[in-house]
């Protein structure tokens, strides 16, 4: 789904449950595309995420994939991939990135994660290998005070980084970077949307209208939302 990429294209990787995808997801992807000068942003719905279990009433992987495809239609810089559905077992980020490298060996990758995930990096499977595979784009809410960014890294890998105050990035010895992006914070969550849908309430202006129509047509999220 990224076959039109040329060598040394800059490819953003945006993974998540997208359960369902909403306007805050789309805005974040657009801001990352612009800030990092990305040629494309590839949306990767998770199939079997390692860090959380999807609610029991969640749509299937195929349905969540379909909602992402509907949401990004019309934006030529956005693509969706069913890659995680073809990977057996837990979809560890390192495993997914290795597969993407085999498909696009000449692309530069920019992997989008939130600040909470960045703080928990030490709990990720084989996390040290990430920096040989991708740049990280860490998103943070506006108004949040800047931490000592080096101190947020796992202790074991801090000596491998230096801080570039001019670019406000962390540089790894491999040449990869950790880029910090202050996002436009939209207080929208998939959990809240599921709760509204479960209660029969409107989700207008929280997610794209075609996605809301798909949810209605397929009677999704009708059961009781489990937090």
Q: Any idea what the CATH number is for the domain that residue 85 is in?
A: 3.40.50.620
Asked whether residue 211 is domain-assigned, the answer is no
pLDDT in tens, 45-62: 998 877 778 888 899 999
Phi and psi dihedrals of 112, rounded to 5? -85, 125
Res 2: pLDDT: 46
Q: Determine the Cα–Cα distance for residues 214 and 63; give it in Å rounded to an integer.
A: 9
Q: Determine the Cα–Cα distance for residues 170 and 186; give it in Å rounded to an integer.
A: 26
More confident residue, 222 or 135: 135
Asked whether residue 177 is domain-assigned, the answer is yes
Res 147: pLDDT: 66
Do residues 33 and 39 lie in contact, with contact meaning Cβ atoms separated by under 8 Å? no
pLDDT in tens, 165-174: 777 799 999 9
Phi and psi dihedrals of 188, rounded to 5? -125, 135
**CA distance readout (Å), 137 to 35, 113, 131, 203:** 10, 6, 12, 29
Res 1: pLDDT: 45
Asked whether residue 215 is domain-assigned, the answer is no
Asked whether residue 227 is domain-assigned, the answer is no
Phi and psi dihedrals of 69, rounded to 5? -60, -40
pLDDT in tens, 75-121: 999 999 999 998 888 889 999 999 999 999 999 999 999 999 999 99
Q: Determine the Cα–Cα distance for residues 197 and 200; give it in Å rounded to an integer.
A: 5
Asked whether residue 72 is domain-assigned, the answer is yes
Do residues 13 and 109 lie in contact, with contact meaning Cβ atoms separated by under 8 Å? yes
Asked whether residue 52 is domain-assigned, the answer is yes
120 is in which domain, residue-wise?
Answer: 10-187
Q: Determine the Cα–Cα distance for residues 118 and 140; give it in Å rounded to an integer.
A: 10
Asked whether residue 134 is domain-assigned, the answer is yes
pLDDT in tens, 118-147: 999 999 999 999 999 999 999 987 765 556
Asked whether residue 222 is domain-assigned, the answer is no
Domains of the chain: total: 1
């Amino acid at each position: 789904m990224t076959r039109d990429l040329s060598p040394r294209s800059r490819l953003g990787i945006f993974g998540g449950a997208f359960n369902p995808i909403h306007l805050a997801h789309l805005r974040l992807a657009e801001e990352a595309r612009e800030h990092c000068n990305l040629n494309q942003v590839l949306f990767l719905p998770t199939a079997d995420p390692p860090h959380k279990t999807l609610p029991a009433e969640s749509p299937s992987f195929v349905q969540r994939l379909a909602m992402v495809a509907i949401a990004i239609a019309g934006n030529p810089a956005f693509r969706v991939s069913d890659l995680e559905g073809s990977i057996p077992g837990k979809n560890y980020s390192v495993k997914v990135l290795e597969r993407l490298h085999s498909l696009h060996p000449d692309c530069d990758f920019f992997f989008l994660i939130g600040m909470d995930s960045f703080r928990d990096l030490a709990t990720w499977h084989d996390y040290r290998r990430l920096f040989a595979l991708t740049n990280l784009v860490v998103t943070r809410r506006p108004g949040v005070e800047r931490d000592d960014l080096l101190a947020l890294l796992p202790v074991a890998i801090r000596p491998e980084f230096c801080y570039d105050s001019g670019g406000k990035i962390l540089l790894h010895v491999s040449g990869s970077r950790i880029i910090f992006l202050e996002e436009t914070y939209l207080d929208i969550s998939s959990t809240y949307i599921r709760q509204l849908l479960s209660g029969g309430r409107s989700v207008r202006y929280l997610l794209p209208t075609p996605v809301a129509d798909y949810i209605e047509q397929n009677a999704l999220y009708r059961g009781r939302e489990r937090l």
